[in-house]
Each structure stands twice: as C-alpha cells, then as structure tokens.
Amino acid sequence: MNEVLIDGAGDFADPASTVAAAAAAAQNKAREEAGRAAALALGITESLFAAFPELQDIFAMFIKGDIAEARMAYFSSNYYKNLTSTAAQRQTNQKTRRGVYDQEFDAWKQAQKRRLIEKGYPWSSSIEGLLEASYLAGDNDFQLEVKILNSGLVGKNIGGSTLGTVNSLRTYAAEQGINNILPSSYWEKVATGLLAGELTDEGITEELKSFAISAYPAYAKGIAEGRSFSLQTSATRQSIANLLEKDVDTITNDNPLFQKATGYINPQTGAFEIMPLWKVQQLVKNSDEWLYTNNARDSYDAIGRSILQQFKLAF
C-alpha cells in the first residue's frame, strides 16, 4: 500500500484520509458560498453590520449552512420588521408593472443624486450602480449612505456642503496658526467623518482649538477665551512687516522671525510669554534681513551724522 510521508518526521498519512479532508474542505466552501448567496438574496451583506449589528449573527448562520434557521431569525429580526411596505410595493412593481417601476425608480434616483451631491458625495457610475438594490430594499437616506460609504467608492473626492464645512474648518485652523502643522490625511479623515455623520464641525472646532493651545502656550489663555492666535499676534506680525518693509500678508506663521517672537521664553522665569513689541523690534533689528532695508540705512545714517556732530564735523 502506498503511503504519504508528511512533515518529514516519520509520520504517514493515509491517502484516503487526505482525499476525504480535501472533499470536506470543498463541501464546506460550497456550503459557505450557498449560504452567502442565500443571505445576499435577502439583501444581507457585511456592509450593513455596523448599522444593524443583529444581522451579523444571522449572516453567520447562513455561512454555516443553517439556512432555514437563518431565514427564521431574519424574518423575526427588528431589521426585517422595520422594512417598509414601500419595499414590498417596489419589488412588486419591478415584477408586474415594469413601466411604472422604471419611471418611479428614475425619479427617486435623480432626487438621491441631487441630495448626495449637495451633501458632498462624489458621483460615478459605480455609485449609481448601488442605488437600485437600495431602492428595492426600501432603504432610508441613512441606510443608503451607509452602503455607499462601506462600498469604498467615495475616496477623497468629497464636495458639496461637506466640502464647504471642511473649508471653513481649514480657515479656522489658519486663524489659530496650526494650518501648516496638520497633514492632508487629517483633513481627509475630517471630511469622511463629517460625510458619514461620525464627526461634527463643533467637535472638530474644539479639537483644533486644543491643538492651538498646545502649540502656542503663551497665547493659550486668549485662545481658550475665544481670541484667535491671528488676532493676538496681529501687532507682532505688523511690527515685523513694517521694519522689514514688507506687506504684512507675507509674514506667515512659518516666518523665522515670527516663530521666534511667538515662541518667546522669558529667560528670568523660564515660562512662555507674549514677547513685548519693543523686544520684537529688537529681534528684527538684530537680524541680517533688516540690514538690507531702508530702515536700517536711515538708522545708520542718523548714527553717523550724530557722531560727526559730536566732533562738529556736521550740522
């Protein structure tokens, strides 16, 4: 009798048992596929589990092959009981009144398209392809959006009112001086969270405020009280611009002199403090950049004239 050596350790397996194991594996796979198909016929997919947790156990029954038991559990579930009569009517129309079905589905699809785009969902043929199953299931707006988000088709192309909210939050971040420290992945997470209803603009605003408080300790009290970082540093920014003879808008948060001024630590106390304007002016005048300004030349001319006057060489 032929024997098969396994694991190279002197153990042998009967070829018949190997064949039986393979057959059992194939049978399990077929049972799982049949169960998955039966679940799909009722509209049960993994994408619904987050919104309807009770369906997860029912889906598991289908996968195990307990189809009859799974069907009974499904028809007893709150999910099924809450299916509207609209779903039954739509499914009936699809089979018996095709013209009416096509007209009503098209009107619903166009209304959903407008609503989804206005909210910020990108539109594509792939997303459009998800709508009919949702229509037949009698999904509400939330259930439809869950299916779209779980499909992985949304990506980064978010627009509409969600994009408007994200842009407003970006503006707020800029006012708080933290727009240059937040990566693009942060804003992608915010956009997706807002679209899914998992995040709110109020919650993100508070998070951005806490980031700013951590980033700028000297200005933390004012930020907490509602005075933005930009507002509190406007005089500092203007003073630097004036001395360097530049437009104030060019003095951005990543300007080296501005960063030194706003990150000032009092040498006597070792604490972060708001730098006095006279120290800001001193900081700028000690920089190489200031030496090339008209302000610097005028100052040196005045000093030279003063020295000459002392020696009565100038009037």
Q: What pLDDT score was predicted for residue 19?
A: 54
Q: Which two tokens stand for residue 233?
A: 């540093």
- Strands 4-6 vs 11-13: parallel, antiparallel or unpaired: antiparallel
Of 65 and 13, more confident: 65
Q: What is the DSSP letter of 9?
A: T
Instruction: Report the percentage of the chain scoring pLDDT > 70.
Output: 85
Distance, CA of 86 to chain centre: 34
Measured CA distances, 283 to 71, 199, 218 (Å)? 77, 43, 18
Instruction: Report the percentage of the chain scoring pLDDT > 90.
Output: 37
First CA to last CA distance, the chain: 124
Q: What is the mean pLDDT of the chain?
A: 83
Q: Which two tokens stand for residue 292?
A: 């090339």
Mean pLDDT lowest among 47-61, 74-88, 184-198, 230-244: 74-88
Q: Which two tokens stand for residue 269?
A: 């106390």
Say which residues have a Cβ less than 8 Å from residue 59's Cβ, sequence separation at least 6: 39, 44, 46, 49, 70
Q: Which two tokens stand for residue 217?
A: 């300790």
Is the pLDDT at 256 greater than 80? The verdict is yes
Comparing C-alpha atoms, which of 261, 47, 23 is closest to residue 154?
A: 47
Q: What pLDDT score was predicted for residue 239?
A: 93
What residues pair up with 6 in beta bridges, in sequence order?
11
Instruction: Dump the DSSP string for 139-181.
Output: --HHHHHHHHHHTT--TT---HHHHHHHHHHHHHHHHTT-TTT
